[in-house]
Structure 1
Amino acid sequence: MLRLPLGRRRAIPFVRHISVLAIGTVLSQVTLVLASVLLARLYMPREFGEFSIALSLAMILAVLATGRLEMAVPLAEDDQEASTVAVTAMLFAILLSLALLALLVGYRLVAGRSWPAFGAGASAWLVPPAVAGLGALAAARNLQSRRELFSRVSFSRVTASLVQSVGQLAASPAGGLGLSAGFVAGTVWNAVSLSRGLRARPLSTWRAAAAKWRRFSLLLMVPSVLNVATVGAVAPAVALLYGVASSGLFTFSTRVLALPAVVIGQAVSGAFFPKVAELERKGQPLAPAMHLAVTGLTMASVPIFGLVLLLGPELFGVVFGDRWRGAGEMSAVLAPWLAVAFVSSPLSTLMTVKNELRRLLVLSLVEASLRLGSLSAGLIDGRAMTGIVAYSVSGCLICLYYVRWSLRLAGSSLRSWLRIVRGYLLVAAVAYPSLLATKGQLPLPWFGSLAAALTLLLLGWAAAWLYRHALVGHPPEPDHDGLGSEPVDQRTAAGSVR
């Protein structure tokens, strides 16, 4: 009987899981992007700003609602405990959303007006169901990923994107409220479809699960809230500093640029977290899986976000209309940060697996201060773009640090990993600044052709590397001079980690 090499047997299931998640995510995100082309012509930047503020508040509150118990699902000792933890997180999210709704109704009755919610407008009323949906979805998705039911996760994501897109298009007369209503409909649909088959647990089991993972939850919750508030849900801060319209442009640009991050990054994260948790439980080395993930993400992110860096304003103007050209300018500025974040975000789960929560808490406080401080830099000259540039630069530095930390936790180092991709990064480091220097001097068709050629070249390089190392089963390992592929002694590498 023909037997595959061990490296290939380990690599193929991991890549297959990523592929299943990526296919479903591609379909869902293509649906959302196509809908965005129409939504950009039905909604104004201010209405997107109101929606982004409501969504940001819901994302922050959803982290508080679940207490990050959903992150304990892949770490649970057995499937029964994992199911109990997931159901407990869902229950917490629903209870907090009901309390929040009661608070909004009480404020309305006492004050005689709706809570302003940082400029969210009428969309504030949809924050409570969004909190319940986001919290339940996070728990259910982690549980299904632990069970390796990735096809169910993908199918649910596709149908949810259809529900969201149709809802937002149909509710366009309602303004920002219509965007929020469509999002809530899609999120709740996704959560309910992934929660089918879960059994209700006695109240005592919920208490036991919350008690067992209480310390884990408390240590992880603060960094998670700060990360969401300064990265994924930064719209309220942008609105407070530069106005709701600027918040709308910022949100629209990140919404479009989230496509590759969601398609590939979330697929890798969904398969990577259970994988490294399993390797850690079995005491197996993490460096090969880490090298595979970091290199693949890097080689995918450079051409994708490099194209936005070169042609962001032009692409947004053509696809979405001139009113969104400002969002394209912001996207070009944010592209370097998003490229590095594309690599670092899926790796952040390793800190949870390695129980580095105390250090993560301290770093999250420093990170939040740096991000918000840099974002406010635009107040110096009164220009929002100045703050966006500073925010992007600080984001690059923070994400690079997290990549370095992740590699060290896995028993490797940034220097060792750079030997694997030095040729690829050298080409990119020379090509992109050279092209940017010619922008405005070359005719736009010529410049666009050169940008497209560079993108295709780097994507082809990435595809060839993925086939060689991930599919054929030759894990990328540098030797001491960086020219060969001799495996690193994992015991020696792990001993260097502090």
Structure 2
Amino acid sequence: MPTLSNLPTFWKHLLTVMSGSVAAQALPILAAPLITRLCTPAEMGAFSVWFGVVAIASVIATLRMENAMIFDQRRQRQHLCFSVVAWSATWLALLLTVAAAVAKMSCLTSMSWMGALTVGIAAWLTATMQTTLAYAASHNAFAPAAKARIVAAGGIALAQLGILSVGAGADALKAGHLIGLALGLVAARILLQPPLGRRAGAPAWRAWTRGPHWRAWRDGLRARALALLRRLSRHGLSALFPSRTQRAFLRTHRALWNFTLPANLLNTGVGQLPLLIIGARHGVMAAGLFALTQRVLAAPISLLAASVHEVFKRESVRQFQDTGNCRPAYMHALRVLLLLGCAPSLILLLASPALFAFAFGEAWRGAGELAQILAPLYFLNFLASPLSYVFFVAGRQKIELVWQIALFVMTVGVFAAPLTLKQNVLAYTIGYSLLYLLYLRMSYRYSVNRNPTGGLHAAR
């Protein structure tokens, strides 16, 4: 009888990550029918617009530098990576908060004051969590990372339900999301103990074994504040810019912010753009229905495809370093994704309207009709998203960037067309699906790495 220890490495890591992902997504999925009965489609739409801004901003905040930790596991270099992301995320959070507040005062946005004042901290929390989880992936620490995800996802679901149940109104979803993010980040830092707030190269456990956790965190914050004050006294305002070592790190990994960042930013923007345009053209009610559709259809991707992606990242890098290609890991991942994605996609295609009405209430049947149209697209998304790391490992960021630009142009053109909501969504599904088929073909080709001069993330 096969046991976990007898399975191939890819499958062992995948099962570890999936066990955490299943638990992490169980509470949000179970909470969704309750949430939709405690809030209106309009309130869901307002939260989703805020969340869309956070998602886009968090991509910019990391500069995609967290990917550098996959290739370089040296503690000193990873400490430096954390410091670079902390610098960029903090500045972006401050600037975004000021910009949102000015826009609110000038009546340029319909976002609530709470949304405007918290969008920056939400982006900072998201970016920091992403970087911490990238550190976990670089050390195959999938089990503690899975636990941190469980805390974050469960915290968000429970906090949103709790705040909605006391009648807090439209901002309850935002407040619950912030609480869950903060809890998840605290759990990730305690479980993974990444190299930050301490001298580079010092054992991570030392800061935690010398006293209670809160004392270690207090000392770390005090040390960083004193270091910043010393730099300000010596160098003036120039101390607010990256240090010499941080600038060198940014130059070394310039392919990440030159090509990977724009590509990921376009990808995230394309994911949020339909919701923003629908809200502007068809109203907040339509935006709320589309938001629930996205939330439900994205669940299998968050639940399963993201788990495959975490394992595939590490395995693809290892195989490229050992053999010059990652075709075995690619085919492993593709077979797993096909196996996992067929049944849910078929069910959504055949029965979405009735399922949505039963699970979320009759007011949300329209979201099920949109889900029925989008089901083929999300199946291809389920296949392609985890395999996108091939472009990074094979150094094909420029090609991916061109593809993302084409996707962005298609999305804007489709949703700007004078069509009904369902016609917009159908045209979007057809155009996006064709581009995904091309994307899968290219990713398979680059997994073989037919260009013998290629190197890891050397963009070309």
Q: Aligned residue for 2:177?
A: 183
Name which of 420, 432, 435 aligns with 1:398.
Answer: 435
Which amino acid counterpart does residue 404 of structure 1 have in structure 2?
R
> Would the aligned equivalents of 1:73 and 1:83 in 2 still touch at CA under 8 Å?
no
> Would the aligned equivalents of 2:274 and 2:411 in 1 still touch at CA under 8 Å?
no
Alpha-carbon distance change, 59 to 120 in structure 1, aligned in 2, over 3 angstroms? farther
- Bigger shift: 206-215 or 273-282? 206-215
Tell me the distance in 1 between the aligned counterparts of 2:364 and 2:102.
38
Q: Does 1:94 align with 2:131?
A: no
Alpha-carbon distance change, 107 to 322 in structure 1, aligned in 2, over 3 angstroms? closer
Alpha-carbon distance change, 220 to 53 in structure 1, aligned in 2, over 3 angstroms? same
Which amino acid counterpart does residue 296 of structure 2 have in structure 1?
V
Tell me the distance in 2 between the aligned counterparts of 1:225 and 1:241.
23
Q: Aligned residue for 2:253?
A: 213
Q: Deviation of residue 208 (structure 1)?
A: 2.8
Tell me the distance in 2 between the aligned counterparts of 1:91 and 1:101.
16
Alpha-carbon distance change, 122 to 244 in structure 1, aligned in 2, over 3 angstroms? farther
Q: Aligned residue for 1:155?
A: 147
Q: Aligned residue for 2:129?
A: 137
What is the count of residue pairs matched by the alignment?
403
Q: Aligned residue for 2:196?
A: 199
Q: Deviation of residue 107 (structure 1)?
A: 5.3
CA offset digits 1:7-44 (Å, max 9, x no partner):
x9996221111111111111121100111111010000
Q: Does 1:335 align with 2:375?
A: yes
- Give the secondary structure class of the aligned counterpart of 2:8: helix
Name which of 6, 13, 18 aligns with 1:17.
Answer: 13
**1:8-407 to 2 correspondences below 5 Å:** 12-76=8-72, 78-106=74-102, 111=105, 116=109, 122-172=114-164, 173-196=167-190, 197=193, 198-200=195-197, 203-232=243-272, 234-377=274-417, 379-380=418-419, 383-407=420-444
- Bigger shift: 332-341 or 15-24? 15-24
Q: Deviation of residue 373 (structure 1)?
A: 1.6
Which amino acid counterpart does residue 325 of structure 1 have in structure 2?
R
Q: TM-score, normalised by structure 1?
A: 0.76
> Would the aligned equivalents of 2:125 and 2:181 in 1 still touch at CA under 8 Å?
yes
Unaligned runs of 5+ in 2: 201-226, 228-242, 453-459
CA offset digits 1:196-247 (Å, max 9, x no partner):
4232368544333223223431211111111101125642122123222111
Q: Deviation of residue 402 (structure 1)?
A: 1.2
Q: Deviation of residue 284 (structure 1)?
A: 4.5
Q: TM-score, normalised by structure 2?
A: 0.82
- Bigger shift: 159-168 or 52-61? 159-168
> Would the aligned equivalents of 1:312 and 1:328 in 2 still touch at CA under 8 Å?
yes
CA offset digits 1:396-426 (Å, max 9, x no partner):
112111111111111299xxxxxxxxxxxxx
Q: Deviation of residue 387 (structure 1)?
A: 0.5
Q: Deviation of residue 79 (structure 1)?
A: 4.2
Tell me the distance in 1 between the aligned counterparts of 2:272 and 2:262.
15
Tell me the distance in 2 between the aligned counterparts of 1:77 and 1:151.
18
Tell me the distance in 2 between the aligned counterparts of 1:407 and 1:86.
32
Which amino acid counterpart does residue 427 of structure 2 have in structure 1?
A
